[in-house]
Structure 1
């Protein structure tokens, strides 16, 4: 099995979850679904999926609930309408293996949409810098630097232990 576990948080978007299941079912990794919808999804999940129905639980709490059961060294949060390349997950894990001073790795996001019968591709989430690092001296400055402008860093590949610790912090 892979060094990376995928977590797919979802809420009231079972149609998108079913598409994600179809896409990720052949990946060589475990995939945890954290569903806080009121109605449970009753599809047959592939063997590499674990579905947790957590109705009414907030985003951070449901991520902690599933992340604490992850046994791989790395975890990647994936929106229910995003699609990763398996080779990119492996590349991210290899990068983190080789760079112990990094806590996470993130690649580029591409968006696509159909406009007047043409598929239009674009970069998603604005800023896409290679070798981006947050290096401010104190923790508050690092947070401000990391999220200004917002980088959607939550959907990176993270070291599992550090991600779990971050969701356990008070507040």
Structure 2
């Protein structure tokens, strides 16, 4: 299949690897990726955070890079996109408060379009009301939200991904190889 047009929701303190790696990797294989943030336009920046696993009870957080948006949120029409990507970090926590973000995410569920979410991205999925009966993974601290939303939280290793139909999820950035590979399969992308 040909190039897909992919929407990516980001915001300040999105996890650095979880936005940069899929944004670049999906473009590398020929897809068009539009990274957008409410109240921002193409050329604006969001700050990223680096979450790491250093032996503490939770991840540590350090300042990451500035990530430049390449599309304007105000002009996004979900029906124009083939798939959705939701990186983790702190951004999903407040992005789920934006009505247009919720409505757009619901569109991808209801149209059975591919959705990839990683880490705290499942917070946004849980807020849509569309997880009922769906199997997904994410950062383990988000498991209660998935369950409260009617979803089935799947506890996998940090480097594994979970596929449930059009939905591809993973616990955190160490899963990038598996998560992106499964997402490309759901997209119908073939790499020769």
TM-score tier (shorter)? 0.3 to 0.5
TM-score scaled by length of structure 1: 0.34
Bigger relative contact order, structure 1 or 2, given CA contacts below 8 A and separation 6+? 1
TM-score scaled by length of structure 2: 0.31
Larger Rg: 1
